Amino acid sequence: MGDIYHHRARLIDGREVGLDEWRGQVLLIVNTASKCGFTPQYRGLETLYENLRHKGFAVLAFPCNQFGKQEPDDDAQIAEFCRTNFNISFPLFAKVDVNGPDAHPLFEQLKEEAPGLLGSRAIKWNFTKFLVNRAGQPVERFAPTVKPEDLASRIIKLF
């Protein structure tokens, strides 16, 4: 499939953008939720972003309500939650599906090119993370249990 830059997505404020805005950066793309046991990972994602963005790194967060209905709020409420509770400064996108017939095409590509354990394609839960290199190619998938702070060395290797 090549790079991810041909995809477009809607930011949480409603603006549609092309992922080519992040061309040449190392990316960590994450499906998130505000009412999940892993929600405190927002803090670790923000720390990674703050510490590495000057090197050409970005976190792209995509809220999703497909797992335990743990992201029931609308985009405005999600944005306020992330700003108020975690002071998020990385790009936050509008809510998407990551599995099933309505899955966002970006996540279809990520699942295909960076499969999970034993080659599984489906995303199993909130805060699954995909590492994308500077060429826009998905290189690795991480389970929700992998903490953002544990990914710093893998990210740095891609600079």
* Per-residue pLDDT reduced to its tens digit, 37-84: 999 999 999 999 999 999 999 999 999 999 999 999 999 999 999 999
3 lies in some domain: no
Inter-residue contact 30 to 61 (CB < 8 Å): yes
Which of 14, 53, 59 shows the shortest CA–CA distance to 41?
59
Catalytic residue among 4, 28, 36, 110, which?
A: 36
Mean pLDDT (the chain) is: 97
1 lies in some domain: no
Average pLDDT over residues 106-113: 97
Tokens 């996108």 -> residue: 93
Res 117: pLDDT: 85
Average pLDDT over residues 151-157: 97
Helix (H) or strand (E) holding 100: none
Please check the confidence at residue 124 and state whether its pLDDT lies above 90: yes
Cα–Cα distance for residue pair 97/122, rounded to 1 Å? 12
Name the domain count of the chain.
Answer: 1
Q: Is 64 a catalytic residue?
A: no
Res 1: pLDDT: 61
Q: pTM for this one?
A: 0.97
76 lies in some domain: yes
Average pLDDT over residues 147-151: 97
Whole-number percent of the chain with pLDDT over 70: 99
Average pLDDT over residues 122-145: 97
Neighbours of 100 (CB within 10 A): 8
Which CATH number fits the domain that encloses residue 71?
A: 3.40.30.10
56 lies in some domain: yes
81 lies in some domain: yes
Res 150: pLDDT: 97
78 lies in some domain: yes
Domain residues for the domain of 78 are: 8-157
